């Protein structure tokens, strides 16, 4: 456990002193940068983090094989040139330990820990209309008041165990990829079952197969995956980035769809001759990474084009996997490629050629229950010493709605969002003044490079708060009409893509009962940034501002809020 340094600010605030300017919830990459920027502009802030250290998703996801699918040179902060020049990445795609080291380095370098309370989860945040303050309560019984509450809670931080009967009866060990034990797990000599073949499962399976005596993979839906071709960082490649970082970061801002620079194509797949298409897919497959999905510019909007890429990947799977029946089960056929987050792997399909790995198709033999000793499907009982749940997250809204958030007149965010998340620009929800969400639903968020998206939101929010301070405003709130227009626009641009054709977590489809709404903004980071900047330049059109009336001398500036 990292030693906690209580700051004077946090201690004073927690003891009921002067309200803070800002409470930040979460100390992952979003929370860290938010704290840094707030300090730079002279706002008093503290952050609460439920983990015992910084890093967010890279603190929790310690499963073997956990690795970022955006290249290290781009999945990194751009706000400090010294940081980006001095930090040295060890691999083309950084693994979880290196990413956690990076987050720790940033926390040390900018002296952020003194304003973070670790091992502390925020349970409730209620808005007090009279004082225009948020009243925040933690699981350690602390209460504090702050003008702004900023949710840096992450999009993939509420991990989900599936609703499978009998988990409590199981006498072996079980693990969720998103809550991996810090001390690691030794599966040597064990019969291990993995449930789930999304990005996490696909990364973990090759590593688990190297250790376990026998690995059974329980697959419900086959997923598209492209090889990472990960390698130690090439010095010349690193230098080529560092020599041109300012220009390249700017290019990411103005000339990409996701904030990550890929090799863009000006061609449509349907218009390219078949042999050229094949050559281009092959070239990108050999280079590795998500760059594959940029081979042509219409893969996500034209079903016929998409099918050419999907066919190519299916052919690769059939070429890699020796058993044709297994290859057929691994070849995805029920959704267009890319409509579920494309996976990036190291030797995933090759792993099925190992003698100790077996694929169980849950479409032909669904899971009936977990027993004391293993897993019962409609066909067999599989004895297992350990089960790994790679079953994903209540994405984008799960962590937010896990907190009892109440806005104006006590309205609950969970009720406000019962039919799916509604926000203006993914930054604020009407009825919840002074509550910002970093990379919230309605922004490009998970469809983009997350650190890139975080930086844009943090900078926009900071500028907005400074503007409010200069103008003497106490509260900012999204207007309902602006929110309605934005939500309609988010849906409209999503409908113009193929994304709605998959039962993905983007749509909430993986959580029973969750409203089926496409949550991230598909319009691209350039259009999104332009919209955010235009709103700011027009004195924050679509938001309204208020000033708290001065109280008569002696009158308290708060009212009781039931926390
Ligand atoms: P996921 O993509 O939601 O995959 C969950 C898997 O569990 C799916 O295969 C799902 O099958 C299966 N599953 C869920 N409930 C089940 C049940 N009751 N029975 C059988 N199977 C069940 O979750 P994830 O793999 O953790 O990935 C989530 C996201 O995290 C990714 O899409 C990515 O954005 C991010 N991530 C990124 C990286 C990276 O940077 N490389 C690595 C890991 C994760 P169905 O498809 O049939 O529902």
Q: What is the C-alpha separation between 34 and 509, in angstroms, rounded?
A: 31
**DSSP string of 168-223?**
GG--SEEEEGGG--TT----BT-EEEEE--SHHHHHHHHHHHHHBSEEEEEESS--
The 10 Å Cβ neighbour count of residue 244 is 12
Any atom of ligand 1 within 6 Å of the Cβ of 449 = no
Going by the DSSP 8-state scheme, the letter that residue 409 receives in this structure is G
- Taking a C-beta distance cutoff of 8 angstroms, is the pair 64, 204 a contact? yes
Domain boundary at 307, 322, 339, which? 339
Whether residue 453 is found in the same domain as residue 534: yes
Question: How many CB atoms sit inside 10 A of residue 94's CB?
Answer: 24
Residues with Cβ within 8 Å of residue 226, at least 6 apart in sequence: 285, 288, 289, 290, 292, 293, 313, 342, 343, 344, 345
Neighbours of 165 (CB within 10 A): 12
Residues 412 and 531 in one domain: yes
CA of 189 to the centre of ligand 1 (A): 26
Would the pLDDT of 12 be above 80?
Answer: no
Distance 344 CA to ligand 1 centre (A): 13
Please give the torsion angle defined by the CA atoms of residues 138, 100, 293 and 228, in that order, rounded to the nearest 10 degrees: -140
Cβ 157 under 6 angstroms from ligand 1: no
The mean per-residue pLDDT over the stretch 24-51 comes to: 98
Q: Is 50 exceeded by the pLDDT of residue 375?
A: yes
Do the domain assignments include residue 484?
no
DSSP string, 48-116: E-SSSSS-THHHH--STT-B-SS-TTTSS--S-HHHHHH---SBSS-BHHHHHHHHHHHHHHTT-GGGE
Residues 453, 384 within the same domain: no
Q: Who has greater pLDDT, 561 or 514?
A: 514
pLDDT band for position 5 (cuts 50, 70, 90): very low
Q: 65 with 130, same domain?
A: yes
Measured between alpha carbons, how far is 264 from 297 in angstroms, rounded to an integer? 8
Q: Which of 227, 238, 202, 237 is nearest to 217 (CA)?
A: 202
| Res 187: pLDDT | 98
On the question of pLDDT at 563 being above 50, the answer is no
Whether 156 lines ligand 1, by a CB cut-off of 6 Å, is yes
Ligand 1 midpoint to CA 201 (Å): 7
**Is 324 exposed, middle or buried, given 0-12, 13-18 or 19+ CB atoms closer than 10 A?**
exposed
DSSP 356: T
Are 334 and 344 members of one domain?
no
382-425 tens-digit pLDDT: 999 999 999 999 999 999 999 999 999 999 999 999 999 999 99
Amino acid 17: pLDDT: 76
The whole-angstrom separation of Cα 224 and Cα 337 is 6
Instruction: Work out the average pLDDT over 369-376.
Output: 98
User: Which amino acid residue places its CA nearest to atom 18 of ligand 1?
Assistant: 162
CATH number for the domain harbouring residue 197: 3.50.50.60
Going from the C-alpha of 382 to that of each of 201, 217, 358, 362, 368, the distances in angstroms are 19, 11, 11, 13, 12
Angle at 111 between CA 109 and CA 116, to 5 degrees: 130
Q: What is the mean pLDDT of the chain?
A: 95
- 307 and 215 in a single domain? The answer is no
Residue 219 shares a structural domain with residue 347: yes
Measure the CA–CA gap between 237 and 222, rounded to whole angstroms.
Answer: 34
Regarding whether 345 and 334 lie in a shared domain, the answer is: no
Contact 423, 532 (CB under 8 A): no
Which domain range does residue 334 map to? 262-339
Question: 8 pLDDT exceeds 70?
Answer: no
Average pLDDT over residues 97-116: 98
Ligand 1 pocket check for 198: Cβ under 6 Å: yes
Final residue before a domain boundary, out of 392, 418, 433: 392
- pLDDT of amino acid 259: 97
CA distance 153 to 121: 10
Q: Rounded to whole angstroms, how far apart are CA atoms 310 and 296?
A: 13
Q: Do 303 and 358 have their domain in common?
A: no
Q: How many CB atoms lie within 10 A of CB 289?
A: 23
From the list 110, 65, 62, 60, the residue with the least C-alpha distance to 91 is: 65
What CA–CA distance (Å, rounded) separates 458 from 424? 16
Q: Is residue 48 predicted with pLDDT exceeding 60?
A: yes
Q: Which atom of ligand 1 is nearest to the CA of 340?
A: 32
Does ligand 1 come within 6 angstroms of the Cβ of 369? no
SS3 content of the chain, % helix, strand, coil (to 5): 35, 20, 45
What is the pLDDT, as a whole number, of residue 550? 75
pLDDT tens-digit readout, 294-319? 999 999 999 999 999 999 999 999 99
Of all residues in the chain, the percent with pLDDT exceeding 90 is 94
- Indicate whether 80 belongs to any domain: yes
Residues 40 and 107 both lie in one domain: yes
Closest ligand 1 atom to residue 67 Cα is 41
Q: Strand 133-138 vs strand 143-151: parallel, antiparallel, or unpaired?
A: antiparallel
- DSSP string spanning 441-509? BTBSGGGS-HHHHHHHHHHHHHHHHHHHHHHT--EEEE-HHHHHHHHHHHHHHHHTSSGGGS--GGGTT
Position 95 scores a pLDDT of 98
**Angstrom distance (rounded) from CA 77 to CA 249:** 10
pLDDT at 560: 38
**Does position 556 have pLDDT exceeding 70, yes or no?**
no
What percent of the chain is predicted at pLDDT more than 70? 95
Residue 250 lies in a domain: no
Predicted TM-score (pTM) of the model is 0.95
Is the CB–ligand 1 distance for residue 280 below 6 Å? Answer: no
pLDDT tens, 240-281?
999 999 999 999 999 999 999 999 999 999 999 999 999 999
**Which ligand 1 atom is nearest residue 505's CA?**
3
- Residue 290 belongs to some domain of the structure: yes
Q: Per the domain annotation, does 400 fall within a domain?
A: yes
Is the beta carbon of 164 within 6 A of some atom in ligand 1?
yes
Does a structural domain hold residue 245? Answer: no
Shared domain check, 348 and 205: yes
**Domain check: are 50 and 39 in the same one?**
yes
Whether 471 has a pLDDT exceeding 70, the answer reads: yes
Q: Is the pLDDT of residue 559 over 80?
A: no
Alpha-carbon distance of 428 to 270, in angstroms, equals 40
In the chain, how many domains are there? Answer: 3
Rounded distance, CA 227 to CA 418, Å? 38
The answer to whether the CB of 306 falls within 8 A of the CB of 501 is no
Task: Using alpha carbons only, give the angle 467, 409, 546 rounded to the nearest 5 degrees.
Answer: 25
Tell me 358's DSSP state. Answer: E
Can you give 137-150 as a three-state secondary structure string? EECCCCEEEEEEEE
Cβ(267) – ligand 1 distance below 6 Å: no
505 lines ligand 1 (CB under 6 A): yes
Q: Is residue 483 part of a domain?
A: no
Is the pLDDT at 561 greater than 50? The verdict is: no
Tell whether 506 is covered by a domain: no
Sequence-distant (≥ 6) Cβ neighbours of residue 349 within 8 angstroms? 225, 316, 317, 320, 321, 327, 330
């Amino acid at each position: 456990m990292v030693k906690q340094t209580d700051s004077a600010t946090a201690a004073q605030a927690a003891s009921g002193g002067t309200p803070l300017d800002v409470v930040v919830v979460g100390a992952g990459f979003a929370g860290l940068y938010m704290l840094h920027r707030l300090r730079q502009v002279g706002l008093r802030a503290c952050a609460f983090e439920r983990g015992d250290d910084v890093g967010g998703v890279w603190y929790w996801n310690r499963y073997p094989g956990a690795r970022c699918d955006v290249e290290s040179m781009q999945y990194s902060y751009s706000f400090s040139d010294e940081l980006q020049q001095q930090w040295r990445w060890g691999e083309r795609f950084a693994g979880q330990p290196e990413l956690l080291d990076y987050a720790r380095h940033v926390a040390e370098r900018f002296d952020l820990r003194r304003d973070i309370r670790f091992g502390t989860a925020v349970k409730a945040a209620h808005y007090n209309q009279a004082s225009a303050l948020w009243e925040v309560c933690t699981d350690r019984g602390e209460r504090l008041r702050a003008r702004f509450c900023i949710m840096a809670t992450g999009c993939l931080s509420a991990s989900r165990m599936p609703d499978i009967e009998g988990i409590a009866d199981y006498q072996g060990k079980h693990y969720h990829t998103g809550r991996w034990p810090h001390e690691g797990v030794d599966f040597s000599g064990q019969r291990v079952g993995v449930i789930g073949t999304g990005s996490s499962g696909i990364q973990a399976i090759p590593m688990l197969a190297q250790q376990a005596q026998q690995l059974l993979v329980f697959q419900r839906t086959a997923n598209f995956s492209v090889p990472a071709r990960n390698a130690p960082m090439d010095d010349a490649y690193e230098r080529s980035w560092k020599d041109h970082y300012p220009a390249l970061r700017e290019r990411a801002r103005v000339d990409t769809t996701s904030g990550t620079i890929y090799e863009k194509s000006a061609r449509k797949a349907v218009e390219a001759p078949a042999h050229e298409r094949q050559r281009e897919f092959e070239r990108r497959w050999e280079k590795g990474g998500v760059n594959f999905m940029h081979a042509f510019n219409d893969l996500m909007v034209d079903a016929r084009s998409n099918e050419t890429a999907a066919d190519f990947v299916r052919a690769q799977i059939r070429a890699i996997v020796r058993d044709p029946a297994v290859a057929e089960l691994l070849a995805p056929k029920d959704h267009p490629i890319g409509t579920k987050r494309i996976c990036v792997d190291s030797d995933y399909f090759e792993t099925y050629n190992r003698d100790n790995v077996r694929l169980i198709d849950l479409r032909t033999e669904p899971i009936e229950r977990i027993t004391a000793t293993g897993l019962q499907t409609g066909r067999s009982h599989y004895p297992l010493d350990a089960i790994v749940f790679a079953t994903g997250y209540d994405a984008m809204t799960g962590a937010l709605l896990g907190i009892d958030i109440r806005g104006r007149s006590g309205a609950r965010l969970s009720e406000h969002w019962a039919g799916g998340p509604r926000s203006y620009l993914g930054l604020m929800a009407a009825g919840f003044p002074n509550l910002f969400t970093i990379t919230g639903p309605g922004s490009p968020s998970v469809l983009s490079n997350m650190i890139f998206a975080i930086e844009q939101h943090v900078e926009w929010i900071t500028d907005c708060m400074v503007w409010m301070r200069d103008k003497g405003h106490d509260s900012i709130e999204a207007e309902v009409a602006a929110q309605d227009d934005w939500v309609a626009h988010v849906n409209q641009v999503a409908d113009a893509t193929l994304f709605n054709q998959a039962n993905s977590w983007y749509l909430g489809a993986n959580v029973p009962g969750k409203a089926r709404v496409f949550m991230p903004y598909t319009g691209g980071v350039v259009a999104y940034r332009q919209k955010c900047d235009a709103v700011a330049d027009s004195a924050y059109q679509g938001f309204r501002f208020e000033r708290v009336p001065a109280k008569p001398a002696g009158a308290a500036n708060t009212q009781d809020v039931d926390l």
